[in-house]
Structure formats: C-alpha cells, structure tokens
Amino acid sequence: MAAADELAFHEFEEASDLLAETPDAATTSGSNQLTPQGHVAVAVDSGGSYGAEEEVEESDRTALLQEEKQQPGFWTFGYYQSFFDVDTSQVLDRIRGSLLPRPGHNFVRHHLRNRPDLYGPFWICATLAFVLAVTGNLTLVLAQRRDPSIHYSPQFHKVTVAGVTIYCYVWLVPLALWAFLRWRKGVRERMGPYTFLETVCVYGYSLFVFIPTVVLWLIPVPWLQWLFGGLALALSAASLVFTLWPVVREDTRLVAAVLLSTVVLLHALLAVGCKFYFFQPLPLAHPAPPTQAASLSPDLPPPPTSSAHTT
C-alpha cells in the first residue's frame, strides 16, 4: 500500500512541477499527459492499443467481402456443402423439437434459427424408407411362422416404392406450399413466408416420429397398430400446424383453415397409405372342400338310384 501511495503522489508532484515550468500547457482527461496548446492530444486507452478495435472491424469487413466474392456457384458441390454443415447436437435438438410440439413454440424460429439443413431430412427419409421396406417383409415372415400355408417371397421392390414416395412427399409438398404462400404474400401483406429450404427441413424432421412407429407396427395387434399410428400422426401434424400458424394466421380465416386442413390431410394420407401398403392384411386361408367320397361311410349302402321304365 505504501509503494502504491508513493507512486501516485510522485506522479501528481511531477505533473504539478511540469505545469509550473510550462504554464501554457494543458492536460488531457483520457490520459495523464501534458500537451502544449496548439497541439492535438491523442488519448490512449488503458490497454495501450490505439485503434485496435477499428483494425479488427476493418479486417472482419474485408474477410466478409472476400467470402462473399468467393461464394461457390449453384452448380458446384461447395454450394450444397453448407446445407450439411450441422453437428450432432443441432440435429438432436431439432429432432426433439419435432417430437414435442407445443403452441407458441415455433420450430423454425426456435430450432432452425435461419440455418436450415438438409442432412437431417435426408437421413430421416432414407431411414424411414428402409425401415418401412424391412418391417413390411418381416410382417410376412412372422405370419408364415404362425401359419405355414402362407407363402413368403422377398419383396425388394418395396424399398424403391418407399423411397420414391417419401422423398417425393418431402420435396413436392413443401414446394407447392412454399409457392402458395409466396402467392398469398403478394395478395395480402403479412408476415413473410418461410424459405423453401426451411419448409423442406420442417417436413423432413416431422417424419422422424414415424420411424419408431413403423417398428412398433410389427406387433400383430390391429387396434394397437392403429393406436400407435394415430399418436404418431397427431404429433407430426401438430408440429406442422404450429410451425405454419404464425405465417397463415394473418390471412383470411377461410384460406388459413383450408391450407392447414390440406396439410393435415396429406400427412394422414401418407401415414394411412404406408400402413395399408406395407402392412396389408394377410389373405385368409381358404379351407379345402371336403371330398364327398371320403365322407361316405363304407358300412352304409349306396343311395338308391331311380331308373325310369317306359312302358
């Protein structure tokens, strides 16, 4: 403490002596330096780095301009690489957001944060298509074990059908929805619609709930299968409705109701179509008709035959 006090008093004494020798000098408030009148005093901050923040801002601005100039073209692989630049924590957070929809919690604003990705939707659709095809074949295998009269043959075409159906749904339906919302934006001024990639991302993550549901459909209990399917459809459709509602709520009631009803109806058609096609009810085994000759007892006399005699 004594050394610090002496140092402070020594600086004050030196400054007073300097003022006494040069009465025309003036002190600056930012730094304890004496500057003669007629000269410009430059204040130096406590860190001793003049203009460091301005240099950093200038370097960041230059780097940003260089990145904009070096942005890859639409036809290059680097352009699409940015859509797959997500980590595991981001993907898991977006999956949880699609599984737990709630009113007032916008999936785009709270989870995407203006950074839509195609990594999650791509692998969710691929996994769902593969699981649909595998479980559809396993259903027939398990049914054959219970009833040997059922003939099973591998149905590899189901992989193609599932892949084409799911990927077309995830791309074409968001495209039509995005185009309709863009058109309604010009008709009625309101909150701007989501981008096309954001709409695709929302639809892709909304299908994740069907992956465990399809596995549970292996349980050979029809009412339990429909219960799991209805629960998955409710969660998935609610995620879409809660996400689209902030966009369409300022439109007319008729347009908003028709649009949201169409979204839910298409989602239900996808779920029900997959249920009937990949888990179709097995045909009942037709029992062999009893042979009339084998059913007759040998002890009984043969039935009398009537002969017509003409006289």
Q: Which helix (H) or strand (E) holds 36?
A: strand 34-36
Q: What is the pLDDT of residue 161?
A: 93
pLDDT for the residue 282 = 55
Dig out the tokens for 68 from the structure: 């904009």
Who wins on pLDDT, 52 or 228?
228
Cβ–Cβ under 8 Å, residues 55 and 71: no
CA 55 and chain centroid, separation: 40
Nearest alpha-carbon partner for 112 in 134, 91, 129: 91
Average pLDDT over residues 195-223: 92
pLDDT category of residue 106 using cuts at 50, 70 and 90: confident
Question: Whole-model pTM above 0.75?
Answer: no
CA distances from 215 to 55, 231, 256, 305 (A): 58, 14, 34, 63
For residue 110, is pLDDT > 90?
no
Helices and strands (H and E) in the chain: how many: 12, 2
**How far is Cα 96 from Cα 87, in angstroms, rounded to an integer?**
15
* Cα torsion 46, 50, 51, 52: sign: negative
Does the structure show a pLDDT above 60 at 103? yes
Which pairs count as long-range contacts for 102-107, CB under 8 Å and 24+ apart, including other chains? 102/242, 103/242, 104/242, 105/242, 106/242, 106/243, 106/246, 107/202, 107/205, 107/239, 107/242, 107/243
For residue 218, report the phi and psi dihedrals to the nearest 5 degrees: -70, -20
- Confidence category of residue 115, pLDDT binned at 50, 70, 90: confident
CA distances (Å), 304 to each of 295, 296, 297, in order? 18, 14, 15
Longest dimension (CA), the chain: 170
Confidence of residue 128 (pLDDT cuts 50, 70, 90): very high
Pick the range with the lowest mean pLDDT from 37-41, 85-89, 111-115.
Answer: 37-41
pLDDT score, position 281: 61
Instruction: Find, among 129, 196, 197, the residue nearest to 167 by Cα.
Output: 129
Let me know the angle formed at the C-alpha of 228 by 198 and 216, rounded to the nearest 5 degrees.
Answer: 95
Whole-angstrom distance between the N-terminal and C-terminal Cα of the chain?
Answer: 154
Q: At 53, which helix (H) or strand (E)? A: helix 52-69
Rounded distance between C-alpha atoms, residue 223 and residue 215, angstroms: 15
Q: Is the pLDDT of residue 13 over 80?
A: no
CA distances to 48, 194, 211, 231 from 93, rounded to whole Å, are 44, 20, 17, 21
Residue count (the chain) = 311
Taking the CB of residue 76, how many other CB atoms lie within 10 A of it?
A: 10
Nearest to 247 by CA among 259, 233, 238, 237: 259
Q: Is the pLDDT of residue 122 over 90?
A: yes
Pick the range with the lowest mean pLDDT from 15-24, 69-78, 238-247, 258-267.
15-24
Lowest mean pLDDT among 38-42, 95-99, 180-184, 192-196: 38-42
- Residue 25 phi/psi, 5° resolution? -85, 155
The pLDDT, as a whole number, for residue 37 is: 47
Select the more confidently predicted residue: 90 or 23: 90
Per cent of the chain over pLDDT 70 is 62
Residue 221 has pLDDT above 90, yes or no: no
Q: Could you give the percent of the chain with pLDDT greater than 90?
A: 34
pLDDT computed for residue 292 by the predictor? 45
Least confident of 31-40, 101-110, 179-188, 280-289: 31-40
Q: Is the pLDDT of residue 270 over 70?
A: yes
**Mean pLDDT, residues 160-167 taken together:** 94
Confidence of residue 107 (pLDDT cuts 50, 70, 90): confident
- Tokens 């402070």 appear where? 8
